[in-house]
Structure 1
């Protein structure tokens, strides 16, 4: 049995994400939780002719506990979306409390599950999750990952428009964090190899860093990136299931992690990033989650500059999440 849980399943990301997960034949049970409408979403998805049994849960009658019990993989898009004029940091005030409470319940009811954090701002919500899990004695850095796959998806799409390559064949490593200047696309390492001009590099970097703003503006107040985010999260979830259930070797993805997930390489990255505790890097996925972190290597001069600019912002985001829990009277 492979049980996958979506917390925030009735939202703008949660619904299309749940649909994509229902289409994954490796999943035998799909549990959907939200404060409203999750049962309706579950009933709708249950009519789709794929193996996963779908169940919806609401807060009453221990709904969250029932949804989480026995989970193999938990995806968390819960929270409010970004609106025009709202920065990712603005989201923190609203989403931090939501994430804190979900983390506590996971620690109590599914401490061995893989946890994929989608709720923004990821740079802060992953540290919040980690701090709550630590307080409950349930923190395993190899199993906690912030989903930054949308940055990779955008990088592949935008780079392919310039290079003329099929976007499905393009891979651009994206390191750092998951907001604005903390997003560092390594266009010098694009595969298949392509030589961008410096003007193209700077334009692509800016677009990848602030691609979410395009969607927020285009939706004109009705939301942020939901469909592309759902695709990105489902893709990452599939990779986790391939590594942990199917035991497929050599799966490498970028995600935002606590660097203790691989202490040896984590020390090397800390030395490169002025001792940051969290960073988005290439990792190898295995049966226990993160089996290896890859070092930051072969950056161009421009990418070194981006890294230097990102570090103070990322440090502030991380400290904000940690401080939220250390100062929280509810824990």
Structure 2
């Protein structure tokens, strides 16, 4: 199995690549970045695990991106600039959109059937950019183009375990909507009903806010020197690991991810109806198989409590604009 990381020399890319190098099911780990990828590749190649490591920059063999992508089954994209103090994910759009578009063109040409896991922010807009480029090239597979929202789940699990002294290993809070501020809707009433019930209204509101704006907490703590890189690398790896399990035959692999609601996918039509036909892309729990998303678990939309329903209505408005911005970027 070949896995490619685009943006491998960055703050997310390096720890993500390390985690991937440790996965025994990966036989080829390909690293790509505009600078410094060979050094990261050389460093990782000394680790005594089965994955053979290769690394490329744009000028290698006339087209480093082509060599990094050819034959890849999974492409993970953390490429882009990090957030700085005062920046929202949406502020990053103009910088990162062009990077994502270029990489999408590469995937379309060199590995159109690969799973694509987009980490580059803002995910609410970069995933629609990726999908639009692949559509224009005639190779878009809605079952395999995914936005990584797993960090929101990781934070939700961690933060409520801290508040309630519960074992975080036993917690799995679904997070729906998108991956930016108020578009993030943690569904504690479904994931941790007994723990969530112990909290008063003020504690619940603060918990939700912390999940939605947890990235700001890290940016401020690093005093402008970086953003959430280690936790994001962990989250990206977690989703990749689950997809690898699905590819290699595991059944009932269900994770939340930001996905296009293509009506060829089971449950997508029902999800669209429950969303009032307003959203093409949204994060919901999905079931993965070897060929990608097999089913959208739309039923969670009927399980929200009143507070979560209100949060989701707010999320939908912002998310709709984020998605339109990504599509518009490619059209222009």
> What TM-score results when the alignment is normalised by the length of structure 2?
0.96
2:217 aligned residue (196, 214, 233):
214
CA drift at 1:199: 1.9
2:306 aligned residue (269, 282, 301):
301
CA distance in 2, matches of 1:219, 1:138: 40
1:73 aligned partner? 74
Does the 8 A contact of 1:262 with 1:292 survive in 2?
no
CA distance in 2, matches of 1:138, 1:31: 22
CA drift at 1:168: 1.5
1:145 aligned partner? 146
CA distance in 2, matches of 1:262, 1:76: 26
Any unmatched runs of 5+ in structure 1?
A: none
1:271 and 2:254 aligned:
no
CA drift at 1:264: 4.6
1:248 aligned partner? 250
CA drift at 1:263: 4.1
User: How does 1:180-329 map onto structure 2 within 5 Å?
Assistant: 180-191=181-192, 193-194=194-195, 195=197, 196-245=199-248, 247-260=249-262, 263-275=265-277, 276-295=279-298, 296-327=301-332
1:32 aligned partner? 31
1:107 aligned partner? 108
Q: CA RMSD in A?
A: 1.0
CA drift at 1:127: 0.2
2:48 aligned partner? 49
**Number of equivalences:** 325
CA drift at 1:262: 5.1
- SS of 1:26 mapped into structure 2: coil
CA distance in 1, matches of 2:264, 2:22: 32
Does the 8 A contact of 1:100 with 1:129 survive in 2?
yes
2:94 aligned partner? 93
> What TM-score results when the alignment is normalised by the length of structure 1?
0.96
Does the 8 A contact of 2:117 with 2:147 survive in 1?
yes
Does the 8 A contact of 2:157 with 2:172 survive in 1?
yes
